[in-house]
Amino acid sequence: MIPFEVPKTENDMRSFLDSIIQKSGIKPSNMTTSNPRYVANMQILDLLKQYMQANPDIRFWQALLNCGVISMDVNQDTGQVRIIDEYNVESNVFLKRVNGRINS
């Protein structure tokens, strides 16, 4: 069960995210346009939005894979598929990857 109402519009989503940020205690000064990671994150979200608008029937997970946000690897011995954890890759690298996949 979801403990909140799912936002239905873009404005509802923005309000919902703003409320989460406020409750988290994150200082707004850390999320300004002077923060390169934040800027890259917002650009990635914009590219994903454009991709999903151009492909309205695509599943969200599939969009993340197609755009290079998520990478997968196959173990040649077992055939097992795993998601590659790229926790140390900066947002600007993901931005270049997503931009290259969407605009190629």
Domain locations in the chain? 35-102
Do residues 75 and 54 lie in contact, with contact meaning Cβ atoms separated by under 8 Å?
A: no
Residue pointed to by tokens 């173990």: 75
Task: State how far the Cα of 19 lies from the Cα of 58, in Å rounded to an integer.
Answer: 29
Q: Is the pTM of this model over 0.85?
A: no
pLDDT, tens digit, 9 for 90 and up, residues 29-79: 555 667 888 889 999 999 999 999 999 999 998 999 999 888 889 999 999
pLDDT band at 21 (very low <50, low <70, confident <90, very high): confident
Residue 92 has pLDDT above 70, yes or no: yes
